Chain A
Amino acid sequence: MRVDLFIPCFVDQLAPRVGLATAKVLRGLGHEVAFREAQTCCGQPSFNSGHWDVAREAALRALDVFRGAEAVVGPSASCVAMMRKFYPEVLAGHPRAAEAADLAGRTFELGEFIVRRLGVTDVGARWEGKATYHDGCHGLRELGLRREARALLGAVRGLTLIEAEEQETCCGFGGLFSVKYPMISTAMAQVKSDALVRTGADIVVSSDPSCLLQIGGYLGRQGKAVRTLHLAEVLASR
């Protein structure tokens, strides 16, 4: 299958390794991987801030950018949720609403794509150590993903998965919420990160790079040695 990558803007700029790992995993499964350079940001920051007109323009652009793609796969449940759930919402009543619904059906989060669409759980990865997994809220509640990432991690050789307390608790990122209400956002990061650290895991894995920005940033300030890794990075390691 030909897979078109959907790389979140901040992964593109600040964590390109996550995009590279995503490409590597998909290629390893025998698929052709492409990146359409016209893509930028999905528009979520403006959408969440109430500027739906800006988000609508971003949505219309994305319809053009990903026209004809068989499968659009992104290493971020949050950005995929924007495309799948909220593009149809901002384009409700728009002449191109049907196209948005169509794109929604062709867009997948990485773990979801591998497990549900391809029917694969073992991608041949190896990682020695103890890991804990953080569910991003968009993956959990907008996309209904719970078992996909765990199935994939469960098949990684050498990896022991330890579930944390506060498993389904939000990390407190929430986009611009994290800077508009920093005290609440930080309190949430603290509750979440403490629970993750208590597992004794060496790495914190998530399907959402934005959650990792928050958790990693908080742990960094606290001087904790726990590393944060995107699911794709673990799946790409041999």
Chain B
Amino acid sequence: MSPAPRDRFLEDAAAATADDPQRGFLRGALGGYYASRDVQKARYRDWEKARDAAALAKWTAVNRLDRNLARFEEAFVRNGGVVHWARDAAEARAIILGICREAGARSVIKSKCMTTEEIHLNDALEAEGFGVVESDLGEFIQQLRKEPPFHFVFPCMHLRRDAISELFGKHLGTPPTDSPEELTMIARRHLRDLYLRADIGISGANFLVAETGQVSITENEGNARLTCALPRVHIALAGIEKVIERLDDLAVLLPMLATAGAGQPMTCYNTLYAGPRRAGEADGPEAFHVVLLDNRRTALLADPEQRDALHCIRCGACLNVCPIFKNIGGFAYGTTYQGPIGSVITPHLRGLRNWNHLSGASSLCGACTEACPVRIDLHHHLLRNRRNAVRAHGGWADRLFHRAFGWVIARPRLFSLGGRLFRAALPVLRRLPLPYLRPWLRTRTLPEAAEPSFRQQAKEVLR
């Protein structure tokens, strides 16, 4: 049996935090992002108002989700597409496999889509004998490495260029290079044929426009355009929270996605796909399917306190600023969605009992909440998850500890006495560490005990 998620997390986080060069590399990589993000943010007349507008667009979409999804389906079908509803990962996989089989497909090309990671689609496709190729450069690299994405926006940000060059040399037989352009070209040359051969293109969706029945996809490499346009059949897999009401909402959401997530004014390609090829059109797929995935998103929708977590546009800004992410990296989370948003939603999507440790693994600094373009109350949701976990299945020892603590702090005399005893024992405690003190003392000292306490001195001083 594989170890429990919490044990694995502790082990992986310990290993990652001990890797100083890798942590330094990540800090350096993100340093460039901060600089360009700040330049782009400064070009907004009022970034905070833009956040309000983006949050409102998503609030409206999510709080009228039932109507918006129905409107999207109606409009998308009118455009000639087919909509499928999947309650969970298994249903979504079955739907997609069914489409592939029916199309008599052999090979599948994919553009970047975290939702397919969420439902473990590649494994399912390969198990049925379909060839699957990732066309996003980062995802392509991770596929060659047989690793999940390190960061849900920058899948291979943990890799140095020489590691990528070496990887290409090993798998594609190309000579070593240090040029990012050359590395991109190697991947492109390799992928070009595969686009032409693929029967099915699978993409995600950044937004589903209810008003027009369009699928909005944002990318930097142009690979999604090929994935969506060249194969006979296009399947877009999207969580139900991707729907927005109006086409106009993109006017604020697209630039904010680019600026918050990648420090760009706009992502290079923002494309709206409105159904399959129509009579007289030169390109586009013969059939276009959208698979709408619930997979416990409706459970989050039913929680009024944390419903705003469904606002997420997966920009990745919260990861980029998170000191936990920067120190433990993306793999330690063991989740599809890393970083603060992952720590907030994974307990909802995969169960609080096994995943609450992610909510605990935060100093609650709030950098994520400050960065989030759609104003999700991220770090406070971690507190709410912790509370929910204590209520649902808190341990008795933990409960006893806090009850006792609460009992003592309600009694000033007892508190004072306890403080005295603690201070008296401190010189010994520093050498004979108790469970809570040992992890502290290993890397940090404790202050010398002061004598007497403030309250003892206050009587004199404040007379």
Interface 0/1 of B342-371, CB less than 8 Å to A: 000000000000000000111111110110
Is there an interface contact between B440 and A217, defined as CB atoms closer than 8 Å? yes
Residues of A close to B363: CB separation below 8 A = 137, 170, 172-174, 177-178, 185, 188
Enumerate B284-303 residues with CB–CB distance to A below 8 Å: none
Q: Could you say which of A23, A61, A180, A187 contacts B410, with CB atoms under 8 Å apart?
A: A61
The closest CB in chain B to the CB of A78 belongs to: B364
The closest CB in chain A to the CB of B398 belongs to: A49
Residues of B close to A137: CB separation below 8 A = 363-367
- B32 CB–A CB distance under 8 Å: no
The closest CB in chain B to the CB of A180 belongs to: B360
Given A16-B452, A49-B402, A51-B402, are A184 and B436 also a contact pair (CB < 8 Å)?
no
- B188 CB–A CB distance under 8 Å: no
Residues of B close to A49: CB separation below 8 A = 386, 390, 398, 402
Residues of A close to B408: CB separation below 8 A = 40
Nearest CB of chain A from residue B416's CB, rounded to whole Å:
8
Is there an interface contact between B405 and A45, defined as CB atoms closer than 8 Å? yes
- B458 CB–A CB distance under 8 Å: yes
Given A13-B419, A20-B461, A50-B387, are A181 and B454 also a contact pair (CB < 8 Å)?
no
The closest CB in chain B to the CB of A45 belongs to: B405
Chain B residue total in the interface (Cβ 8 A):
67
Is there an interface contact between A51 and B390, defined as CB atoms closer than 8 Å? yes
- A145 CB–B CB distance under 8 Å: no
Residues of A close to B323: CB separation below 8 A = 169-170, 172, 188, 191
Nearest CB of chain A from residue B365's CB, rounded to whole Å:
4
Is there an interface contact between A16 and B412, defined as CB atoms closer than 8 Å? no
**How many of chain A's residues touch chain B, expressed as a range?**
35 or more
Is there an interface contact between A43 and B406, defined as CB atoms closer than 8 Å? yes
- B269 CB–A CB distance under 8 Å: no
Question: In the complex, A53→B398 CA distance in Å?
Answer: 13
- A198 CB–B CB distance under 8 Å: no
Residues of B close to A88: CB separation below 8 A = none
Question: In the complex, A54→B404 CA distance in Å?
Answer: 9
Nearest CB of chain A from residue B155's CB, rounded to whole Å:
23
The closest CB in chain A to the CB of B389 belongs to: A50
Residues of A close to B445: CB separation below 8 A = 216-217, 220-221
Residues of B close to A61: CB separation below 8 A = 409-410
Binds A, one of B13-21, B54-62, B140-148, B253-261: B13-21
- Output the residue of B327, B436, B437, B458 with the most chain A CB within 10 A: B458
Residues of A close to B457: CB separation below 8 A = 16, 20
Question: In the complex, A9→B10 CA distance in Å?
Answer: 30
Question: In the complex, A220→B152 CA distance in Å?
Answer: 38
Is there an interface contact between B462 and A186, defined as CB atoms closer than 8 Å? no
Question: In the complex, A140→B457 CA distance in Å?
Answer: 31
Is there an interface contact between B17 and A183, defined as CB atoms closer than 8 Å? yes
Question: In the complex, A41→B387 CA distance in Å?
Answer: 19
Residues of A close to B327: CB separation below 8 A = 184, 187-188, 191
- B328 CB–A CB distance under 8 Å: yes
Is there an interface contact between B409 and A187, defined as CB atoms closer than 8 Å? no
Interface 0/1 of B21-42, CB less than 8 Å to A: 0010001000000000000000
Q: Could you say which of B18, B386, B409, B410 contacts A48, with CB atoms under 8 Å apart?
A: B386
Interface 0/1 of A210-223, CB less than 8 Å to B: 00011011101100
- B280 CB–A CB distance under 8 Å: no
- Output the residue of B369, B389, B443 with the most chain A CB within 10 A: B443
Question: In the complex, A34→B362 CA distance in Å?
Answer: 36
Interface 0/1 of A50-78, CB less than 8 Å to B: 11111001100100000000000000000
Is there an interface contact between A182 and B439, defined as CB atoms closer than 8 Å? yes
Nearest CB of chain A from residue B375's CB, rounded to whole Å:
13
Enumerate A216-233 residues with CB–CB distance to B below 8 Å: 216-218, 220-221
Is there an interface contact between A57 and B406, defined as CB atoms closer than 8 Å? yes
- B3 CB–A CB distance under 8 Å: no
A-B CB contact pairs (8 Å), 20 listed: A13-B454, A14-B449, A16-B450, A35-B455, A40-B409, A40-B412, A41-B409, A48-B386, A49-B390, A137-B365, A140-B366, A177-B361, A178-B363, A179-B437, A183-B18, A184-B13, A191-B27, A191-B327, A220-B444, A221-B445
Please give the residue numbers on chain B whose beta carbons come within 8 Å of chain A beta carbons, in ascending order. 10, 13-14, 17-18, 23, 27, 323-324, 326-328, 360-367, 369-370, 380, 383, 386-391, 394, 398-399, 402-403, 405-406, 408-412, 415, 419, 422-423, 436-437, 439-440, 442-447, 449-450, 452-458, 461-462
Ranked 10 nearest A-B pairs via Cβ: A174-B363, A217-B444, A50-B386, A170-B365, A220-B445, A182-B439, A50-B390, A54-B406, A16-B454, A141-B366
Please give the residue numbers on chain A whose beta carbons come within 8 Å of chain B beta carbons, in ascending order. 5, 7, 9, 11-17, 19-20, 23, 33-35, 37-41, 43, 45-54, 57-58, 61, 89, 137, 140-142, 168-170, 172-174, 176-189, 191, 213-214, 216-218, 220-221
